[in-house]
Amino acid sequence: MRVALIQMDIQLGRPLENRARVADLVRQTAGQADLVVLPEMWTTGYALANLSGNLADRDGKPTEALLSGLAEECGIYLAGSRAVERQGRVYNLATVHGPDGRLLAEYAKVHLVPMMEEPLHLTPGDRLAMANIEGVRCGLAVCYDLRFVEMFRTLAIEGAEVMIIPAEWPAVRLHHWRTLLQARAIENQCFVLGCNRVGSDSNNDFPGHSMVVDPWGNVLAEGDEDECIVYATMDLAQVAEVRTRVPVFKDRRPELYRLGD
């Protein structure tokens, strides 16, 4: 499976400009990727105080139509996260659209970032989600979720072979980003796709370094700190190979993973 991570700069609070930029960048991947991943909150950036009733997509519109149309036009699976308002609540919503334009899966970020004041402005999701992409189960996560080991282990146990992670991970914790992406790949013996933004807003600098990591923890492709598209090809047979050679899931003993009375 060919993947493309769109490591873009995001204009704070300017959804019209960001949608136009995404349309241009996604079209550049046509014929070169099967799955394209966008960063976290790519329509607005972290303009959190202005999301409700103003910047967030109301019931998914109008960005839903753009994503559906781009996926169908380019014949790709298209993933990423954005702010969506439903019944007065704003969610950081990750979605996956298929090459026929249909919405295949959505996931509202369950772990909200206190360091970036997400809990003050967003509503957390209450369930995990996966997308079926060409018969491959792909777990969905967003940025801060990367720190929660149990979430990724649950997705892997339920059959995820690829983890898709849109992010706005700040430069001050770049070392954590790179280390955790590789750790989640190694411990869950899966591919990990981390798509991070570049640029800055009034509070943070964002370093890019979007990465495709294989089930051994090898970095197949990595961006630098500039806007770019990161391409890689995943050999999905490698997941079964690694899980057979190092049978972590078979050797688990979850009944013992608690302290005794």
Measuring CA to CA, how many Å separate 26 from each of 66, 74, 252?
Answer: 11, 8, 41
Nearest to 220 by CA among 248, 249, 181, 246: 181
Q: How far apart are CA 49 and CA 116, in angstroms?
A: 11
Residues 6+ apart with CB under 8 A from 122: 48, 51, 83, 90, 91, 92, 109, 112
Nearest to 209 by CA among 195, 220, 191, 199: 195
Q: Please check whether residue 34 is in contact with residue 138, taking contact to mean a CB–CB distance below 8 angstroms.
A: no
Please count the other Cβ atoms lying within 10 Å of the Cβ belonging to residue 50: 14
Q: Position 236: which residue type?
A: L
| Catalytic residue ranges | 40, 109, 143
DSSP H helices in the chain = 15-28, 63-74, 118-121, 149-157, 174-188, 237-245
Residues 6+ apart with CB under 8 A from 222: 209, 210, 211, 212, 230
